[in-house]
Amino acid sequence: MARKRPDVPLMIAGRSTRMEVLELLRRRGRSSAESVATDLGVTPNAVRQHLTNLERDGFVVSHPERSGRGRPALLFSLTERADSVFPKRYGQLATMVLQEVQEMGGPEALDEVFSRVAARHATAIEPALDGLDFDEKLRRVVAWIGRAGTLAEQSETSEGAKVTIHNCPFRNTALKFPQVCTITPHLISRLLGTAVSQADSIHRHDPFCSFVVARPTDAH
């Protein structure tokens, strides 16, 4: 007996009927199963099954709407979560903006932009580190960096503490604009008050970026 094929994740945007239902609701705003079926040229029952699954997964919500006598019509619309299944071009936009900044102000302008980004984040984090020793500050800073999806981890070397970034969320942009990679060392240096040097770099064709954080002479 053939095994049931697992459901295809919605995050993969293909030309499936499920994706076409989502696209139609994005264009229409609200629609009934019957209207969706007519527009897509499929049976209402097939559309209802898709809508049921989409509502279960949190991508669609139903709204009963009464018009005159009789049973209320059930209209469907997208939830905020559904926005995640449509194509995004955040990296492309960031690259275009940075290109304009560089052409307007040169490399120095980009240096200033990323220095200010690091300083802004450091200002927000600093109060949570007040009164902590070096090791606890470092642990919290690495954890904070990791929450951005960087898969950051800390290890020890003879030169100092090493912070490794296994996944750069801005990899494509960083490969075009190396200044992106200065945010992490600037941030660590300001928060810990110590020197930070780069050990590995994707710009040198290393598989990841890493930074060595010099320990203060009085840190244990």
Q: Which CATH number fits domain 90-213: 1.10.10.10, 3.40.50.2300, 3.30.1380.20, 3.40.50.300?
A: 3.30.1380.20
> Is the separation of the CB atoms in 32 and 76 below 8 Å?
yes
Span 74-129, pLDDT tens digits = 899 999 899 888 877 777 888 899 999 999 998 899 899 999 999 999 999 999 99
Q: What is the mean pLDDT of residues 50-59?
A: 92
Q: What is the mean pLDDT of residues 148-173?
A: 90
Place of tokens 């459901």: 7
Domain 17-85 identical in fold to domain 90-213: no
Q: Where are the alpha helices (DSSP H) in 42-89?
A: 44-56
Residue ranges covered by each domain of the chain: 17-85, 90-213
Which pair of tokens denotes residue 29?
């705003």
**187, pLDDT greater than 60:** yes
Q: Give 153's DSSP letter.
A: E
Domain 17-85 adopts which CATH fold?
Arc Repressor Mutant, subunit A (1.10.10)
pLDDT band for 12, please (50, 70, 90 cuts): very low
Q: What percent of the chain has pLDDT over 70?
A: 90
**132, pLDDT greater than 90:** yes
Q: Give 146's DSSP letter.
A: I
Task: Output the pTM of the full model.
Answer: 0.61
